[in-house]
């Protein structure tokens, strides 16, 4: 069974049982500022688990792209991945434990043809006033699962969530594939790391919400949230040893063999790291993230740079990374059409970042070796040296740590952190002074963001209130920030209309026209930014079709299509009566 067949089988099974198939959401969470990425299929559904009505109804199914970055350094072994896909089905206040377990059992044994003897399941042992989940065990037994296949664990193993610091969570029942080997010892069970058991599916009974004080409040509705790891299940149903042996990776690894002239079997770890990191990077770029010094863009930069270093270790200095990304885009764009739509942007960004890093990699490595010898065998690299590698050579701190570890060295991260903070503060105050006009630099990205700011200004007037006025604007290479007068939070519908509208204007590729015109003329045309009479003056005015006319110094893109894709990442209060929107483009 290949990946698409598994996605289809899963979705169809649940659609036949009354579920609505919903699309995969972006890797950038819309509803949760406490995490960088979408880490589970339930993440984009949090508002609905909390009780909002979902347009698809109370039964949903999907496959969702996810990224978890906690174990980047572990990638390269048989199972860790940064990017993965999660198949999931949800009941939003509809069915609960009984049907959830029946459905899971049916899919695993009837559709995926897993032998019942290869299954093992877990349930919540009970802890902190929440009782033991014997009900779940009984439902499994009613399907023919024996007592010796059922294991009870506490919160550490059988409790899921919340995804960020707050939100829905609850006890779960996890389903494992038991490969049939004898137990490694008397305590061997699904929680054992010996490899006998592989977790394939998690059914969470989301009954609680954790609040900022750490309290658990019962939810108004009882929900089911399930998540099945696509890569792992492909492994299990095809009798394969590692996720990298599945059809999801054979094309990427084949391309790497072709381009490097080396065999995967001889260089397993670097091959896996490159394949994993470029898969994650391609998807992040496809969702509009661009390499940057902080936030999501920093993780992307780390992934691309780490992949680049491993490519060098395979002698692939002359190979363009986007050649591997091309394989990923072509293999995944049926399931994730945004990759196809954004392919040019993905390749351009990955190439630009690769070039930026390659220009300094050799010098940086040389400097790194000098630092090691200068340290006089102390076993530790000081924060100043590490900060220089970061600032001058673009080495993510984690890369330096990894290089250091390879030589038996550690890195003084506390010292690095304080230098990093000091640097950030300096550059923040520097940019506040230098960029009173709000535009941090005239690079390509900031230009796009600048035009996007005009579109946002227009969209706010159109969808929220014609009286909205700009109260402040600040643009960095990563995002725009726009403050405006309003004394309430925007609704999610308003945010969506704004985003959709701006993306529609982008897709129409409307020319951005700059005119130098007398002030009176600008006033007649209702240009935004006409605050006071400047009689007789010639002003610079940018117009975008009939969408926006604004007095402005520029620079702007030539036509809206260049912006690529517009995404709101945050809407929050900035001061009394002032709201703030942060958004990205790409």
- Catalog residues that contact ligand SER under the rule CB under 6 A: 40-42, 88, 160, 202, 204, 225-227
CB of residue 227 to ligand SER, shortest distance in Å? 2
Distance (Å, whole) CA 558 – CA 538: 22
CB of residue 160 to ligand SER, shortest distance in Å? 5
CB of residue 24 to ligand SER, shortest distance in Å? 14
Closest Cα to residue 375, out of 400, 411, 418? 411
CB of residue 206 to ligand SER, shortest distance in Å? 8
Q: Which is nearer to ligand SER, 66 or 440 (CB)?
A: 66
Q: Which is nearer to ligand SER, 50 or 259 (CB)?
A: 50
Report the helix count and the strand count for the chain, using DSSP H and E.
18, 18
Tally Cβ neighbours within 10 Å of residue 162: 23
CB of residue 120 to ligand SER, shortest distance in Å? 17
- Residue closest to ligand SER when measured from CB atoms: 227
Q: Which is nearer to ligand SER, 40 or 92 (CB)?
A: 40
Q: Which is nearer to ligand SER, 227 or 396 (CB)?
A: 227
Helix (H) or strand (E) holding 283: helix 268-286
Phi, psi (degrees; rounded to nearest 5) at 468: -70, 135
Of the CA atoms within 13 Å of residue 486, those in its CB half-sphere come to: 25
- Tell me the DSSP string of 416-454: HHHHHHHHHHHHHHHHHHHTTTSB---SHHHHHHHHHHH
Q: Which is nearer to ligand SER, 26 or 202 (CB)?
A: 202
DSSP character for 89?
E
Q: Which is nearer to ligand SER, 225 or 338 (CB)?
A: 225
How far is residue 361 CA from its own chain's centroid? 26
Confirm if 563 and 585 have CB atoms less than 8 A apart: yes
End-to-end CA distance of the chain: give it in Å, rounded.
Answer: 35
CB of residue 379 to ligand SER, shortest distance in Å? 39
In 463-520, where do the E strands start and end? 470-475, 480-485, 512-518
Q: Which is nearer to ligand SER, 225 or 331 (CB)?
A: 225
CB of residue 154 to ligand SER, shortest distance in Å? 17
Of the CA atoms within 13 Å of residue 199, those in its CB half-sphere come to: 20
Distance (Å, whole) CA 377 – CA 558: 56
Q: Which is nearer to ligand SER, 200 or 273 (CB)?
A: 200
Q: How far is CA 205 from CA 95, 136, 218, in A?
A: 10, 10, 12
* Three-state SS letters, 221-265: EEEEEEEEEHHHHHHHHCCCCCHHHCHHHHHHHHHHHHHHCCCHH
CB of residue 172 to ligand SER, shortest distance in Å? 7
Q: How far is CA 21 from CA 63, 234, 319, in A?
A: 9, 21, 40
CB of residue 163 to ligand SER, shortest distance in Å? 7
Q: Which is nearer to ligand SER, 225 or 287 (CB)?
A: 225
């Amino acid at each position: 069974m290949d990946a698409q067949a598994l996605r289809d089988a899963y979705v169809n099974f649940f659609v036949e049982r009354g579920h609505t198939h919903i699309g995969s959401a972006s890797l950038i969470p819309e509803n949760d500022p406490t995490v960088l990425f979408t880490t589970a299929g339930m993440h984009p559904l949090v508002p609905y688990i909390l009780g909002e009505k979902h347009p698809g109804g109370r039964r949903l199914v999907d496959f969702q792209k996810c990224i978890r970055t906690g174990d980047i350094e572990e990638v390269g072994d048989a199972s860790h991945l940064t990017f993965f896909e999660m198949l999931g089905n949800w009941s939003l206040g509809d069915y609960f434990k009984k049907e959830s377990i029946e459905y899971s059992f049916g899919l695993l044994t009837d559709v995926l043809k897993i032998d019942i003897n290869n299954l093992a399941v877990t349930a919540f042992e009970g802890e902190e006033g929440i009782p033991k989940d014997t009900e779940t065990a009984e439902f499994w037994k009613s399907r023919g699962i024996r007592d010796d296949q059922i294991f009870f664990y506490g919160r550490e193993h059988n409790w899921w969530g919340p995804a960020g610091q707050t939100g829905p969570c609850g006890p779960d029942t996890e389903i494992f594939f038991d490969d049939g080997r004898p137990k490694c010892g008397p305590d061997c069970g699904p929680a054992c790391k010996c490899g006998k058991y592989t977790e394939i599916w998690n059914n969470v009974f989301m009954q609680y919400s954790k609040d900022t004080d750490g309290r658990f409040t019962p939810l108004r509705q009882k929900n089911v949230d399930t998540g099945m790891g696509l890569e792992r299940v492909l492994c299990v149903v095809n009798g394969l040893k590692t996720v990298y042996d599945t059809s999801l990776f054979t094309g990427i690894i084949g391309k790497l063999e072709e381009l490097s002239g080396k065999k995967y079997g001889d260089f397993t770890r670097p091959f896996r790291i490159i394949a994993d990191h470029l898969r994650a990077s391609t998807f992040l770029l496809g969702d509009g993230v661009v390499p940057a010094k902080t936030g999501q863009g920093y993780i992307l930069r780390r992934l691309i740079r780490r992949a680049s270093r491993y490519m060098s270790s395979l002698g692939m200095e002359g190979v363009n990374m986007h050649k591997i990304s091309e394989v990923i885009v072509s293999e995944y764009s049926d399931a994730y059409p945004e990759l196809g739509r954004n392919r040019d942007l993905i390749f351009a960004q990955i190439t630009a970042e690769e070039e930026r890093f390659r220009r300094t990699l050799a010098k940086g490595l040389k400097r790194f070796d000098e630092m090691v010898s200068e340290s006089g065998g102390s076993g530790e690299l000081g924060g100043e040296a590490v900060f220089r590698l970061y600032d001058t050579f673009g080495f993510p701190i984690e890369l330096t740590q990894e290089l250091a570890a390879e030589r038996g060295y550690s890195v003084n991260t506390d010292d690095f952190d304080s230098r990093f903070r000091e640097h950030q503060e300096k550059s923040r105050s520097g940019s506040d002074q230098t960029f009173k006009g709000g535009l941090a630099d005239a690079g390509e990205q900031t230009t796009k963001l600048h035009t996007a700011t005009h579109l946002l200004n227009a969209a706010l007037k159109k969808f929220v209130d014609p009286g909205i006025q700009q109260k402040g604007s600040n643009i960095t290479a990563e995002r725009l920030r726009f403050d405006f007068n309003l004394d309430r939070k925007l609704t999610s519908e308003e945010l969506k209309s704004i985003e959709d509208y701006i993306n529609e204007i982008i897709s129409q590729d409307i020319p951005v026209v700059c005119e130098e015109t007398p002030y009176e003329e600008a006033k007649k045309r209702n240009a935004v930014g006409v605050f006071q009479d400047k009689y007789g003056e010639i002003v610079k005015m940018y117009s975008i079709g009939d969408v926006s006319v604004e007095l402005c110094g520029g620079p702007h893109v030539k036509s809206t299509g260049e912006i690529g894709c517009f995404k709101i990442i945050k809407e929050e209060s900035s001061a009394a009566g002032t709201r703030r929107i942060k958004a990205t483009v790409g």
